[in-house]
Structure 1
Amino acid sequence: MRVLLSTYGGRGSVEPMVGLAVRLRELDVEVLMCAPPDEEFVELLADAGVEMVPAGRPVRPVVTTVKPGSAVGLAQRAAELIAEQFGPVALAARKCDALVATGPLPVTAAARSVAEKLGIRYVHASHQPVSTPSPHQPPPARRGKALPPGVADNSELWDMDARNANEMFGAEINAQRAAIGLPPVDNVRDYAFTDEPWLATDPVLSPWPGRRRPTESGEPTEPMEPGESAGPEGRAGRTAPAWPGVVQTGAWIRPDDRPLSPELVEFLEAGTLPVYVGFGSMPLGGGASKVVARAAVEAIRAQGLRVVLARGWAGLEPIDGRDDCFVVGEVNQQALFARVAAVVHHGSAGTTTTAARAGVPQVVVPQGGDQPYWAERVADLGIGVAHDGPAPTPASLSAGLATVLAPEIRARARAVADTVRTDGATVAAKLLLDEVGRGRRGPLPE
């Protein structure tokens, strides 16, 4: 069996797919992965032993130069991504039995078109829930296509979002489909998502609406098993057949056994537990990186603690030469988070899940996208706090840290860590293997 994984985006889009690739290979499945050719992703796939097919331009120069929220150049970038799926990705998929795609809509809609043409199994995967159509939440805004204020009906908003998606990407998708003999699609978004998309998030950290039946007291019970679908007529309580039946597998976590550097270990052992600060693949332009770094370092020092500062795509740097701050680049977060007092971060799905697994309190400073959702989940679970707004100050971060370093928050974070599943990628790999082997969708394999 041979599977092609296709994605385009930052670390949060690439790393989970590598986690799935690793588990598929353990089941003797041959795996190819199409991903942006950034040097760090090339190295990531090489270290995991996954064959890479470069697709699209390097993503870091794009996200670090495009103004947040701006639609300038979006049509051209979308056309390029669509063309990559119909070009190199289609070539790679010719000898594959299945195609799993994640990332922006131009990627997934084009990837499903390729799978349709080849007659192979296609799976749409999301590593966050906010973009999946649901009557329980509104759609996120698309660049240059703000949703009208004052509309409270989620069904109406999702209908508007579908029309916006068609307007933005439909013509290009259908032109490429016509070129390979496929008929046009009239709803690009729902075509990409399919009737049964996979949600690769942890069911405790990110419960999909309807996956748990509340008791009379309101406490959730009876969690659905990973891989079980909350279908249109099932526990999700949907009345409209248009809503997809989501299959939640659990988060796809890449195994990481890399040792921490001797210098970092020496720093960790030289004093009290430090606080980690990092914003991952989130760029902070316009001098914001210096402001954030200063606010974080000063707030952590105010708590009498030391700092591990992750450069990331934000380019965070020390504010002075004091020896209570250690700077890291690429690092094993799974190993590092187990040795820090708290994690200050932007609220990506990956960092949130890694910190939750480590049982370490979190201060989430969301910048955009799905990050406010994860900040809210951290606060709701009682394992940290959500910062009010994207621009922290020494005072606001110091207050957040004082809260999460309290014994009750630390104890709650450790308790939740015991409930976070680690088998999401294995669940997904077995489910895909079973479905392809049956030639149809089937129940979760044992």
Structure 2
Amino acid sequence: MPENFLFATWAGGGAVPPVLSVARALRERGHEVRVLSDTSLHEEVAAAGLEPVAWTTAPQGDPADPAKDVIRDFETRTPLGAFARLRDRIVCGPAADYARDTLAELRARPADVLVTEQMLLGALIGAEAAGVPAASLVTTLYPLPTPEGPPPGVGLAPGSGALGRLRDRMLSRLVLMPWAKGLPALNAARAANGLPPVDSVLDAFERADRVLVLSPRALDHPGRRFPAHVRHVGARLDDPSWTGDLHLPEGDAPLVLVGLSSSFMNQGPLLQRIAEALGTLPVRGLLTTGPAVDAATIRAPGNVLVTASAPHNLALRHAAVTITHAGHGTAVKSLAAGVPLVCMPLGRDQGGVARHVQAAGAGITVGKNASPGTIARAVSQVLHEPSYQREARRLSAEIASETATDLAVTELESLTTPAGRQG
């Protein structure tokens, strides 16, 4: 029986395609699906065959345009500063606005389930106030603490023994302390909607009926345990609708695919250094700038083709190495294709993704300020050391097994019944 799903997302760069992928899969199953989102995303929403609905009071942004970016984390000097922008401008600060818009839409056009990108705690508040089951989608590695797990965001493996577990608990408290500044705004939003306060921001994340992690379980720590309502449902591997056609550089030398952030992160200078590095190697380079950087601004050597976009899934069938900022989408698509990586994190969750790729043996990490010579040596290392490709292929097989059935759709459909919500 067709059900009605309301999705909620924001202009969060690489988080958008996996959310829309899940929404599209539900529509293809015959369900009614609409998507609350920034107007800058409406063309992409419509291209996925979905109905776009605009936020009315919640923030509106366009991450491809620095002047219209809501968070503007590229202006900050430290990871803590970037985190504070996300907390205050998306997660907690405007929670009342997101809740108001979500509740208004649910009252105007009721839905059976609300599905939101994880950072939109305000959308979860709206669903809770309306009495509608809710799921949140995690579009990267699970970012919250877990029982006896490592502290989130610092790249450590789980500690062993009593001292290791003590270390993890103490570091987790320190890492999570900055969330406390967002609690007053979050509880004010809850009070405005007749809901009781929560003790912490982390408690608010846990109020979803289901948390679906759109990331390979094999990329996380092997022994990590998760709460019962958190389910790994496999990565979404769809390319964005704006990627266009594939054009490959001429020749038969190994292909190096380059893809940095789809949102603005001051990546222009790094793209230029990568182009210069590839110019010193016997390779072909396909360098995709994304919508935030003008391809014409990159001066490329003869063996490097620069383009605004390309369908990475198709390009990866030809690639030997990917150079990436370690955005979750590009990293996982590369691993799904069995292609090892050179990771150059720019910020956000990218350092964590890069550390997990390196821990899995499927790539190496190079600093974002690395010289062309350093970048070239890293590419040569990954290209010529067989272990990187071997481990990438191992992860490829695990990703293929995990995505053989659409577990995300199964979980969301189950939320339309009382028995499913309890499961």
Question: Shared topology, TM-score over 0.5?
Answer: yes
Question: Paired residue for 2:61, among 47, 58, 63?
Answer: 58
2:351 counterpart of 1:360: no
Contact 1:98 1:122 in 2 (8 A): yes
Contact 1:252 1:424 in 2 (8 A): no
2:141 counterpart of 1:129: yes
Aligned residue in 2 for 1:220: none
Structure 1 Cα separation of the partners of residues 135 and 317 of structure 2: 34
CA RMSD of aligned residues (A): 3.1
Structure 2 Cα separation of the partners of residues 153 and 424 of structure 1: 38
Structure 1 Cα separation of the partners of residues 74 and 277 of structure 2: 30
Q: Which runs of 5+ in 1 are unaligned?
A: 142-150, 212-229, 232-243
Local SS of the residue matching 2:264: coil
Aligned residue in 1 for 2:30: 28
Question: Paired residue for 2:102, among 48, 69, 89?
Answer: 89
2:396 counterpart of 1:417: yes
Structure 2 Cα separation of the partners of residues 209 and 276 of structure 1: 32
Contact 1:364 1:385 in 2 (8 A): yes
Aligned residue in 2 for 1:281: 262
Question: Paired residue for 2:207, among 177, 181, 194?
Answer: 194
2:125 counterpart of 1:113: yes
Contact 1:130 1:140 in 2 (8 A): no
- AA partner of residue 45 (structure 2): L
Local SS of the residue matching 1:197: strand
Contact 2:9 2:116 in 1 (8 A): yes
Question: Paired residue for 2:284, among 282, 288, 306?
Answer: 306
Compared with structure 1, are the counterparts of its residues 164 and 410 closer, same or farther at alpha carbon in structure 2 (3 Å cutoff)? closer
- AA partner of residue 418 (structure 2): R
Structure 1 Cα separation of the partners of residues 293 and 359 of structure 2: 30
Cα deviation, 1:325-382, whole Å, max 9, x if unaligned, reads 2222233211112122311000011111111112222101112222122212222222
Compared with structure 1, are the counterparts of its residues 424 and 177 closer, same or farther at alpha carbon in structure 2 (3 Å cutoff)? farther
Deviation at 1:96, TM superposition (A): 0.9
Aligned positions of 1:327-342 closer than 5 A: 327-342=306-321
Aligned residue in 1 for 2:408: 428
Question: Paired residue for 1:203, among 217, 231, 253?
Answer: 217
Structure 2 Cα separation of the partners of residues 425 and 33 of structure 1: 24
Question: Paired residue for 1:247, among 231, 234, 254?
Answer: 231
2:175 counterpart of 1:175: no
Contact 1:347 1:372 in 2 (8 A): yes
Aligned residue in 1 for 2:162: none
Contact 2:72 2:85 in 1 (8 A): no
Deviation at 1:122, TM superposition (A): 1.4
Structure 1 Cα separation of the partners of residues 166 and 347 of structure 2: 21
Structure 2 Cα separation of the partners of residues 182 and 383 of structure 1: 46
Question: Paired residue for 2:152, among 129, 133, 139?
Answer: 139
Aligned residue in 1 for 2:274: 296
Aligned positions of 1:206-225 closer than 5 A: 206-207=220-221, 209-210=223-224
Contact 1:250 1:425 in 2 (8 A): no
Q: TM-score, normalised by structure 1?
A: 0.78
Q: Which moved more, 1:315-324 or 1:429-438?
A: 315-324
Compared with structure 1, are the counterparts of its residues 37 and 310 closer, same or farther at alpha carbon in structure 2 (3 Å cutoff)? same
- AA partner of residue 12 (structure 1): G
- AA partner of residue 195 (structure 2): L
Structure 1 Cα separation of the partners of residues 241 and 185 of structure 2: 43
Aligned residue in 1 for 2:113: 98
> What count of residue pairs does the alignment treat as equivalent?
391
Cα deviation, 1:103-147, whole Å, max 9, x if unaligned, reads 43xx22x22221111111112321223521223221349xxxxxx
Cα deviation, 1:251-273, whole Å, max 9, x if unaligned, reads 13337799963xx53x4454434
In percent, how many aligned pairs have the same letter?
23
Contact 2:93 2:185 in 1 (8 A): no
Local SS of the residue matching 1:153: helix
Local SS of the residue matching 2:326: coil
Compared with structure 1, are the counterparts of its residues 284 and 89 closer, same or farther at alpha carbon in structure 2 (3 Å cutoff)? same
Cα deviation, 1:136-187, whole Å, max 9, x if unaligned, reads 221349xxxxxxxxx973334444555542x422222222222232222222
Aligned residue in 2 for 1:236: none
Aligned residue in 2 for 1:381: 360
Q: TM-score, normalised by structure 2?
A: 0.81
Contact 1:174 1:185 in 2 (8 A): yes
Contact 1:19 1:255 in 2 (8 A): no
Aligned residue in 2 for 1:153: 167
Local SS of the residue matching 1:342: strand
Contact 2:11 2:61 in 1 (8 A): no
Aligned residue in 1 for 2:75: 67
Aligned residue in 2 for 1:406: 384
2:20 counterpart of 1:5: no
Moved over 6 A (4+): 255-259
Compared with structure 1, are the counterparts of its residues 293 and 435 closer, same or farther at alpha carbon in structure 2 (3 Å cutoff)? closer
Structure 2 Cα separation of the partners of residues 50 and 425 of structure 1: 22
